Chain A
Amino acid sequence: MKKLFTMAVVMVGATYLSASAAFNAPTTAQLAQAAGNPAMLSQMLQGATAQEAAEAMRAVIVAALGLGLNADAQAARITQIVGAGFTAMTTAPSGGTAAVTPDAFAQSLGTALGSSPVLSQNGVVVATILSAVGAAGGGGTTGAALETSFTTALQTSVAANVPAKGYEIQQSK
């Protein structure tokens, strides 16, 4: 009986923990709060898939652009957001496994950030994100995964028309 009770408690506990870890889509107010305090990302991203977390981080970085920070402070904030989100998603809790591998998350994050028209139109923000990758991913394949995914997404969203934009022959009749 005692064993059954213990099992029941464990099952209920596991169910509760599972439910509590389910990802809740962040509201715009929560995104703004996380932009002001990137440490909140570890809570916000609980239970998120790689794509959900990457999209939330994209929205938080965009929200950070509206905080009125000077250039240095803005770069530092973006670096904090990338670092905090990356840590939340790729660090294994004690006795558990990480939500996603660093390389896989780097790909999702790179794609989400690179395909954002708002972020990709700002050269300084692009440079800051690329530099934040090195710190967050620790270089190696993870850094390359984010940089390449980010750049590939940039190419798709922004530069797909390079020939048409850069070269237009004047035809003669």
Chain B
Amino acid sequence: MQQVQDPLGESRAAVRGSSRVPGSSGAASLEFRGVSKRYGSATGSGGAVNDLSFVVPAGAICVLVGPSGCGKTTSLKMVNRLIEPSSGQILIDGVDVGTEDVTALRRRIGYVIQQVGLFPHLTVGRNVAVVPALVGWSGERQRARTRELLSMVGLDPDRYADRYPAQLSGGERQRVGVARALAADPLLMLMDEPFAAVDPIVRERLQDEFLRLQRELAKTILFVTHDVDEAIKMGDLIAVLAEGGRLAQFGPPDEILAHPASDFVARFVGQDRGLKRLSLRTVADLRVEPIGEREGLPAFPPATTLRDALSILLAADTRGGVVLGNEGKPRGLVTVDAIASALADDAGGAART
């Protein structure tokens, strides 16, 4: 169904990989090769996985998305062997995880879950340091690393390191969960609905901050969600799973939105997939027209998504809006037609042969 070459080519992942933070050991590639998990009929087919094959290049975020019971979480847990596959192999940098010592394997893989699972009896600082402590780092190195990570996820170490998890908000707990998963500088992170338990506003902020962090860290990440919008936002690659744990489609978000491989995928990503594609692009990507009279026209900073720009243009009922350049100077005029044709251009270029 899908080829197993690097489907990203010269994509975001490669760009991210070039700007690593010092002290980061980088990322590993991840491959699913014919992976299946069958459960006895007594437990039903929920969570089963059927002949899953795909490759995530080092430094990319791959999102597993699909309806409940499609085997997303099962697939994720087979990577760190919380669940053992019935057949097939999972390879990290070409090495079959089934051949490794399971404890050592898990300590090299970051793990973030929806309910966070912070240890209530340990302070925030000691929660973050659990894996370094398990692998025998010195106390001083643990403390230094903890402070670094807490700052990285936006928590002041002086204020937070000695608190207990019960004293944190939901969003703060998730940040600590992410810091804990990053503690021993894993080559690979597994994130199982990591932002699903917080309210939408906090979720959006956590997503944005995590993407910013990932631009520096360039970890390979396998990310599970049931939320298509989150998949599109977070993923360099998306694996859409159908019921029964089949891979329905695998590719970059724009390709899945532009060319759903089946009715199932089209229905799953939604009628508004055209609008969702617009949210993947910003006005900075647009070809603009010369500005004539700009009196009363809305202005768009470069990071405005085409979806937001379109929405604003429709609401304002104007012929166009002014796209601003990096220094806030007007760069040109954007119209509803230009936004619509931006998708058409891309669709032509990305069409399958």
A binds B: no
Listed in ascending order, the chain B residues whose CB lies under 8 Å from chain A are none
Listed in ascending order, the chain A residues whose CB lies under 8 Å from chain B are none
